[in-house]
Structure 1
Amino acid sequence: MKNAFLSGCLLFCMSAAPALAEWGFSGAPSPNAFIQTNNMTLEIQCDRIRFAPAGYEDSEDIVNKQGLSIRFMKDGATEVGSFQAGQGNATLQIVDNYPVEIVFQDAADYQFILDQIAANAVLNLSMADQDVSYGIFELSGSGKAIRSLRTSCGSSAQAIDGNMEAPEGVVYCGGGQVTRQIEYQVLDNAQDQWDAIVTVNGKSMRAMTAYSYFGNAPAPQGFIVALLGEDQSEFLVFKDGNANWLEYGDNQYNQCN
């Protein structure tokens, strides 16, 4: 009995510690950001999450209860947000004989979860009705992996309408050997993840906004938003006092209108 008790304590302590591993990214044809340990895997796809816990019985438990608490921690102990996935907002099922697949009914819910994974330090996947963890994952490096995922998922969307009107607003000029004029517009009523338009030298493309671009690191002074273009370009927009500028590649572009 004593040995069984000690074994149970050891198993609990091991499962309660964050999974120490590096986040990775895999591109087309099935883009996903992932972290894998000796006995657990978490895979973030374009429109769903797949979680393979340490034991098949945990997968069965999650699906039987039709609930999973997705908890975001700024460190190992302080919870800063959570999302309760269940019958009212998601579909939970076992796929490929083992992982639990969570498909969210509202794309905005999924985008919230991706934002939180990219911005925080630890992710705790636990029972919806108890403070018992199925798996705890370190999020160091997740911000870069999520940015790559969003860019790759968006790049497979339909091409932008060639007649799209160029944005009107602040114009940024400059560059190195190649001079560019850049404008952008954030859309008020976007129908999908492409909620901005960026125009470079008169050529427009769709982009996604990212307000937590730097992951766990503090944003530089004046940072407003990152614009992730569908061609995998990245534009960082800044405003500090009367100064407006945009960073693209290794160059800075200052307001010129």
Structure 2
Amino acid sequence: MKNAILSACLMCCFSAAPALAEWGFSGSPLPNAFIQTNNMTLELQCDRIRFAPAGYEDSEDMVKKQGLSIRFMKNGSTEVGSFQAGQGNATLRIVDNYPVEVVFQDPADYQFILDQIAANAILNLSMADQDVSYGLFDLKVSGKAIRSLRSSCGSAPQAGNNTMEAPEGVVYCGGGQVKRQIEYLILDKADGEWDAIVTVNGDTTRAMTAYSYFGNAQPPQGFVVALLGEDRSEFLVFKDGNKNWLEYGDYQYNQCN
């Protein structure tokens, strides 16, 4: 009986411990600082966070609630600051079928988060409405990875960079809890591998076109082109007669102009 109780206590301690792994950095074409364990991944890009929790149900919960509490701890028990990401300051969405991507409306908010990650010992990503953690991450040597990220992002194109010329053409509208307006433009002159730009709610990113997106499989009726964003987003464009639509994630966006 004592052994059983001791085993249960050890399991609780392990589940509440921060993910023990080393921070790394990956440069061009998409700079990111990251930490990866056997069941979770946290990736810091130039203007957004991607978090793959241990279970897909956690991803669904974050997106459904449109909320994530980002807590900074100087040790295992003392919280020194936090940022509540949600409606009004950020957009949460599932990308690549699993990770949750948090895109911040104000770049200063994201810079604050990077500062706190670099300065503290543990990061606790938890539910916005209650004290339940999705994941804990050890921030040891995260400062070095973040310095590399900031250095690279200073010269790298960012997904939210609005200095690109906005597309002018068919506008697509729709979405679920988060309404989006999406527009794209195929460039006359490609920028390396990037031959298109896509704008989502005013944020523009480079993309590459793919006309054989479905490989050897027969493409769906009306398929025109796939747009593969530099931020790893994927847009499928369709046209059938007078009907124009675009598929992004689990939602269809119909022409609205």
TM-score normalized by the length of structure 2: 0.57
1:119 pairs with 2:114: no
| Residue in structure 2 matched with residue 93 of structure 1 by the alignment | 93
**Number of aligned residue pairs:** 154
Identical residues among aligned pairs (%): 85
In structure 1, distance between residues paired with 2:157 and 2:51: 26
Q: 1:38-77 to 2 correspondence within 5 Å?
A: 38-77=38-77
Which portions of structure 1, spanning 4 or more consecutive aligned residues, are displaced by more than 3 angstroms? 5-15
Question: Structure 1 residues 67 and 6, CA, compared in 2 at 3 Å: closer, same or farther?
Answer: farther
In structure 1, distance between residues paired with 2:127 and 2:8: 18
The question of whether the paired residues in 2 share the 8 Å contact of 1:73 and 1:122 is answered with yes
The question of whether the paired residues in 2 share the 8 Å contact of 1:73 and 1:79 is answered with yes
The question of whether the paired residues in 2 share the 8 Å contact of 1:46 and 1:149 is answered with yes
Question: Shift of residue 156 of structure 1?
Answer: 2.5
Q: 1:9-24 to 2 correspondence within 5 Å?
A: 13-24=13-24
In structure 2, distance between residues paired with 1:98 and 1:23: 21
Aligned residue for 2:83, secondary structure, equals: strand
Question: Shift of residue 15 of structure 1?
Answer: 3.2
Structure 1 unaligned blocks of 5 or more: 159-257
Question: Structure 1 residues 94 and 11, CA, compared in 2 at 3 Å: closer, same or farther?
Answer: farther
Question: Shift of residue 37 of structure 1?
Answer: 0.3
| Residue in structure 2 matched with residue 147 of structure 1 by the alignment | 147
The question of whether the paired residues in 2 share the 8 Å contact of 1:15 and 1:133 is answered with no
In structure 2, distance between residues paired with 1:11 and 1:93: 31
TM-score normalized by the length of structure 1: 0.57
In structure 1, distance between residues paired with 2:48 and 2:9: 33
Q: Deviations over 1:187-220 (max 9, x none)?
A: xxxxxxxxxxxxxxxxxxxxxxxxxxxxxxxxxx
| Residue in structure 1 matched with residue 80 of structure 2 by the alignment | 80
Question: Shift of residue 8 of structure 1?
Answer: 9.0
| Residue in structure 2 matched with residue 217 of structure 1 by the alignment | none
| Residue in structure 1 matched with residue 136 of structure 2 by the alignment | 136
Q: 1:105-116 to 2 correspondence within 5 Å?
A: 105-116=105-116
